[in-house]
Amino acid sequence: MTESKLDYLIKYLLSERGDLNDIEIPDSFDGKFRLYRSLVNIRPVMPADEALLKAEDEFLTELTFRKGVTDIDDLTPVEENIYLWQGDITTLKCGAIVNAANSGMTGCWQPCHSCIDNCIHTFAGIRLRLKCGEIMEKQGHEEPTGSAKITPAYDLPCDHVIHTVGPIVNGSLNEKHRRLLAGSYKSCLELAAENGIKSIAFCCISTGVFGFPQREAAVIAVNTVRDFLKTADMKVIFNVFRQDDLDIYRELLK
């Protein structure tokens, strides 16, 4: 069933375009999924009909189920209301996950890029880009660094996605970088609280292609969250993917 849905989605997405008529659809599931993901990544901000959305919902829900969903209720805190978890954030069931977005806020447009922005938009489905596009059109300008926006999570197992733009570090790290990164964490926490969200999972904001040193970023993240939780009742997950990030957070949270 999953592969037949994937075939349908690919054919539909190709039919929307007039410049990809010569593309050959691969035989393998992995090849087909890579093509599907690429088509989603480059799809413009525009609506889709109900048939496509229904097929996408069924396909992505089953795909995530096969990957395995982790529920925050099954995790053990390392400090009061603070959790450390290594894994794929798109499989995490909680109130909200945080997306490290760019200032355009409509996702990563590079086909099959490994950034978290690309992963979240891919597995949330095409409605996420449309929603983000509507928010940005209404706003009328790029998202400032250190601020955040909230959207539904669509086909992800969490309830919401909170998108924040972290600082880009070119050259030496300075106090402005540190202040803006703390602002991203604080903006996400405050936005979650305003929307009644009781649990939130943070990725390692700005430490990928944005160039923020990992340890310094983790110190800011932990200190900002600890300070916020002094007066707020919320569960916070530090989600890491790489082993070196896990080691850093283990040391800071021990």
Per-residue pLDDT tens over the stretch 93-129 = 999 999 999 999 999 999 999 999 999 999 999 999 9
Task: Look at residues 95, 114, 96, 118 and name the one whose alpha carbon lies nearest to residue 106.
Answer: 118
Question: What pTM was estimated for this model as a whole?
Answer: 0.95
> Measured between alpha carbons, how far is residue 112 from residues 109, 119, 126, 133 in Å?
9, 8, 14, 20
Confidence of residue 47 (pLDDT cuts 50, 70, 90): very high
Which helix (DSSP H) or strand (DSSP E) does residue 116 occupy?
A: helix 116-124
Phi/psi at 43 (5° precision)? -70, 130
The Cα–Cα gap between 150 and 163 comes to 6
Q: What is the pLDDT of residue 13?
A: 96
CA distance 176 to 178: 5
- Grouping H, G, I as helix, E, B as strand and the rest as coil, residue 160 is strand
